[in-house]
């Protein structure tokens, strides 16, 4: 084995594990399943960065928005805004709530779309740049972790779905009144009878937990799986070793990579749209009495 800076080429499993490890404030992989002293720095960097990019570009368009003939970019933004406004109008029936919920849905859609779109960047570009910088700073590049798709981090997606849960609770109290809502928690879905109160309440709790977890998990699962498949395809491409078999694998990698990337354009848009629609639906449900 060569000594010095040249480490051995990672095995397939090492490659994937390395790619699936977050950059956090510990400097190594988090050992506990739940540890609230840890931050995923890469997730925060990309999600905050892309979120700011989205809202500042939107704000720029909004500041220059003209009611006359719009430019192409303004027209494109208007298409998205009107799509979101229409959906919000159809689902949330309170104009007062829509003043916050519709912009929220727009933010969610564009932000998640951008975060998902990080998946379409060549898999190794940012991690290898980071490894180079990390090595240049005198650290071991084998420990330079970097994941660029924030929505493939369960923390990010559950964070957003928890935010939606908080909004649901807020609107439940705001629209129905605390007393009425508590009454509803105990009397629906099975009916108003003292024996049914615990069952009703348990069902309501399950409903809230299921909504929130599935909301976050759906996005996470899709993006995580997408990222993983990109890694497997990258391994196919990396199989090139000068032989015919490895050449075919490499060709297969190119072919599969192209196909999966094109399909992924649909997935990232669809998942962003689904997350936005479910946000609206859940908040809309908080407005309706059972």
Partner 1 sequence: MNLNATLFAQLVVFFILAWFTMKFVWPPIMKALDERAKKIADGLAAADKAKSDLVLAERKVVDELRKARESGAEVRTGAERQAAQIIDEARQEGARIIAQARAAAEDEAAAAAQRAREALREHVAQLAVAGAERILRREINPQVHAELLTHLKSEL
Which residues touch 23 (CB under 8 Å, ≥6 apart)?
40, 41, 42, 130, 144, 145, 146, 147
From 214, 252, 218, 248, select the one nearest 233 (Cα to Cα).
252
Binding residue for partner 1 (CB under 8 A) from 19, 91, 92, 111? 111
- Should residue 79 be labelled a site residue for partner 1 when binding is judged by CB under 8 A? no
64 classed as catalytic: no
222 classed as catalytic: yes
214 classed as catalytic: yes
From 89, 88, 127, select the one nearest 104 (Cα to Cα).
88
Site pattern 16..45 for partner 1 (x: CB under 8 A):
--------x-----x-xxxxxxxxx--xx-
For partner 1, the binding residues in 224-263 under the rule CB under 8 A are none
Distance CA 208, CA 219 (A): 17
For partner 1, the binding residues in 155-194 under the rule CB under 8 A are 155-156, 158-160, 162-163, 166
Distance CA 171, CA 97 (A): 8
Q: How far is the CB of 196 from partner 1 (least distance, A)?
A: 34
SS3 assignment for 193-230: CHHHHHHHHHHHHHHHHHHHHHHHHHHHHHHHHHHHHH
Site pattern 132..151 for partner 1 (x: CB under 8 A):
------------------x-
> Can you give the binding site for partner 1, defined by CB under 8 A?
24, 30, 32-40, 43-44, 47-48, 51-52, 54-55, 58-59, 61-63, 65-68, 70, 74, 77-78, 81-82, 85, 99-100, 102-104, 106-108, 111, 150, 153-156, 158-160, 162-163, 166
């Amino acid at each position: 084995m060569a000594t010095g800076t040249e480490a051995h080429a990672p095995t397939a499993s090492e490659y994937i594990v390395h790619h699936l490890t977050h950059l956090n404030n510990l400097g190594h992989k988090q050992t506990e399943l739940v540890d609230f002293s840890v931050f995923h720095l890469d997730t925060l960097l990309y999600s905050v960065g892309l979120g700011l990019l989205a809202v500042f570009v939107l704000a720029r368009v909004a500041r220059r928005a003209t009611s006359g003939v719009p430019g192409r970019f303004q027209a494109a933004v208007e298409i998205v805004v009107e799509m979101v406004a229409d959906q919000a109008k159809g689902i949330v029936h309170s104009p007062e709530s829509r003043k916050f919920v519709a912009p929220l849905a727009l933010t969610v859609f564009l932000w998640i779309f951008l975060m998902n779109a990080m998946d379409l960047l060549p898999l190794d570009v940012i991690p290898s740049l980071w490894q180079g910088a990390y090595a240049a700073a005198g650290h071991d590049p084998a420990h330079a972790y970097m994941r660029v798709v924030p929505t493939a981090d369960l923390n990010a997606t559950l964070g957003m779905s928890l935010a939606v849960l908080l909004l649901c609770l807020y609107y439940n109290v705001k629209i129905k009144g605390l007393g009425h809502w508590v009454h509803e928690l105990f009397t629906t879905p099975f009916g108003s009878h003292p024996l049914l109160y615990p069952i009703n309440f348990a069902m309501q709790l399950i409903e809230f937990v299921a909504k929130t977890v599935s909301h976050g998990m759906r996005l996470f699962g899709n993006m995580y799986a997408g990222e993983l498949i990109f890694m497997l395809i990258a391994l196919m491409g990396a199989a090139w070793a000068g032989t015919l078999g490895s050449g075919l694998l490499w060709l297969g990698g190119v072919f599969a990579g192209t196909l999966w990337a094109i399909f992924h354009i649909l997935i990232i848009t669809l998942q962003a749209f689904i997350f936005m629609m479910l946000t609206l639906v859940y908040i809309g449900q908080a407005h309706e009495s059972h």
